[in-house]
Amino acid sequence: MKEPLYKALAAELRREIRSGRLRPGDKLPSKRALAEEKKLSLMTVTGALELLEAEGCIRTEERRGYFVADAVKPMLLPDPPPEPERGAESGCLYDFKSSHTAVEGFPFYTWAKLMRETLSEKDDRLLAAIDPKGVYELRAEIAKQLGLMRGIVCEPRQVVVGAGTEYLIGLIYQLLGKSGYAFESPGYTKAAKIYSRLGASLSFIPTDSEGIRADVISDTPSIDAVQVTPSHSFPLGTVTSLERRRELISWVSGREGRFIIEDDFDSEFRYSGPSFPSLYSLDHSGRVIYMNTFTRTLAPSMRIGYMILPPELVSLFEREFMIYSSTVPALEQYVLARFIADGAFERHLSRMRRIYRRRRDVLIEELSSFGEEIEILGVEAGVHLLVRLCGGQSEREVVELARSKGILLSGISEYMPSGADPGLFGDAIVVNFAGVCEEDIRRAGELLRSEKIL
């Protein structure tokens, strides 16, 4: 996988400082001048400068610009060792398979500033044991944010913070017991695999253009819990209709012991179409568990997820699970709480929506050149598209040919149980665009055309 452009620019400026060509106190060109000189976007240049400022290599003065930090000793600033490639296959030029994020949008300076302030103000509290549900300040900010953005009314007591979705799934399984769990097909197979390894019995429910088939769930008496992604399903990209949401709520309230696990991953990135209420906000029976994570909105390495438990399960958690320790370091939780409270998280989301909207638009433009050979689905939200092959090509042929030319794609069959009927979505390609810049999307599109892959 190629090095992100903002990191490449940061490395170039770092070498200039290390060599002594840029000395302590020297003023750097303005962001706009650097963008024009290097033929880069303003966002890419900003990301590079924020990274160098977070490292202490440069400093900023209000209304004056960026300067080489006075304390920098040029020869003591070695270039960082090259990062090993992870996830991308050998020979990969353009990776539309991995779930990367647009890391150049991360506000390094703001995060570093809040971290320094937290270290100074919290001091010994950072070393003390914290509530198994997570730091109260973060849980309170999450509850407030959900009320504003998703119409979810909950108390901080209902919020449980954990190190990613995998950990939270383990807690949910212990709370609900060895029930029959149902999943979307095609769907997020990782969750199903985790439940299976914990000992759950699984059912895979077909999905149509309105979402998971509630009628099939109702006809399967062994199902006690359903995990769904109504805001933007992966990999289909469908948004569950309001009528289907009501059918799911009717099912879950129809018998004691049933639960819905609402994975609201990607809900923050909506570009067009109606924004439907969450299942949690529609439920009045206390049978929906809401889950989300900061992995997509901040960074994959930010292993902070959370769930909102209905009152009955909160009481059970407080009786049986307070023996656990919080799995997220206190420092990260306090910093994230301040990041949300200061409005930085909302500003960051707005910036990321702009980045992803541009990438989505460029990808749609490139794919549209193939005309009736394909159909593009799931454009309203999220950071991936589904491309149905309408020209007679098979999914496997396209994926293999693209791989041979350095383009990584994944087929819809990878997200279905073996032998399952793909229904409306046979022979389709999943295209993740979050971690691919506009320039590379255009280059990949040109390669697909020149090699007649689609």
Where are the domains positioned within the chain?
A: 1-83, 118-342, 348-450
What single string gives the DSSP state of each residue in 31-90? HHHHHHHHT--HHHHHHHHHHHHHHTSEEEETTTEEEE-TT--GGG-PPPPPPPP-SSPT
CATH class (in words) of the domain with range 348-450: alpha beta
> Which helix (DSSP H) or strand (DSSP E) does residue 306 occupy?
strand 305-308
What pLDDT, on a 0 to 100 scale, did the predictor assign at position 76?
A: 43
Give me the percent of the chain exceeding a pLDDT of 90. 58
Instruction: Pick the range with the lowest mean pLDDT from 20-34, 59-73, 335-349, 379-393.
Output: 59-73
Report, in this order, helix, strand and coil percent for the chain, each rounded to 5.
45, 15, 40
Q: Give the pLDDT confidence of 405-444 residue by residue, as tens digits.
A: 999 999 998 998 876 766 666 789 999 999 999 999 999 9
Neighbours of 414 (CB within 10 A): 13
What pLDDT, on a 0 to 100 scale, did the predictor assign at position 87?
A: 47
DSSP-assigned letter for residue 338: H
Helix (DSSP H) and strand (DSSP E) numbers for the chain: 15, 16
Check pLDDT > 50 for residue 248: yes
Question: Does 158 or 78 have the greater pLDDT score?
Answer: 158
Q: How confident is the model at residue 38 (pLDDT cuts 50, 70, 90)?
A: confident
Check pLDDT > 90 for residue 90: no
Backbone angles phi, psi at 161, to 5 degrees: -95, 135
Domain 1-83, second-level architecture: Orthogonal Bundle (1.10)
202: Cβ contacts below 8 Å, ≥ 6 apart: 180, 181, 182, 183, 192, 195, 196
What pLDDT, on a 0 to 100 scale, did the predictor assign at position 311?
A: 94
Can you say whether the dihedral through the CA atoms of 88, 93, 97, 102 is positive or negative?
positive
201: Cβ contacts below 8 Å, ≥ 6 apart: 178, 180, 181, 222
Instruction: Pick the range with the lowest mean pLDDT from 31-40, 170-179, 248-257, 425-434.
Output: 31-40
What pLDDT, on a 0 to 100 scale, did the predictor assign at position 72?
A: 57
| Residues 267-299: b if buried by 16+ CB within 10 A, e if exposed | bbbbeeeeebebbbbbbeeebbbbbbbbbbbbb
CATH class (in words) of the domain with range 118-342: alpha beta
Nearest CA to 408 out of 188, 99, 82, 187 is that of 99
Q: Give the pLDDT confidence of 56-88 residue by residue, as tens digits.
A: 888 888 888 898 987 655 444 444 444 444 445
Average pLDDT over residues 123-151: 92
First to last CA, the chain: 23
Nearest CA to 192 out of 156, 228, 216 is that of 228
Contact in structure between 75 and 18 (CB atoms under 8 Å):
yes
Q: How confident is the model at residue 179 (pLDDT cuts 50, 70, 90)?
A: confident
Class of residue 342 by CB neighbours under 10 A (exposed 0-12, middle 13-18, buried 19+): middle
Q: How confident is the model at residue 285 (pLDDT cuts 50, 70, 90)?
A: very high
Q: How confident is the model at residue 336 (pLDDT cuts 50, 70, 90)?
A: very high
Backbone angles phi, psi at 68, to 5 degrees: -65, 130
What pLDDT, on a 0 to 100 scale, did the predictor assign at position 329?
A: 94
Instruction: Pick the range with the lowest mean pLDDT from 163-177, 243-257, 422-436.
Output: 422-436
Average pLDDT over residues 362-371: 95
Average pLDDT over residues 213-229: 96
Tokens 């099939």 sit on residue = 216
Backbone angles phi, psi at 305, to 5 degrees: -120, 175
Instruction: Pick the range with the lowest mean pLDDT from 78-87, 157-166, 322-331, 364-373.
Output: 78-87
What pLDDT, on a 0 to 100 scale, did the predictor assign at position 85?
A: 47
pTM (2 d.p.): 0.80
DSSP-assigned letter for residue 116: H
What pLDDT, on a 0 to 100 scale, did the predictor assign at position 429?
A: 94
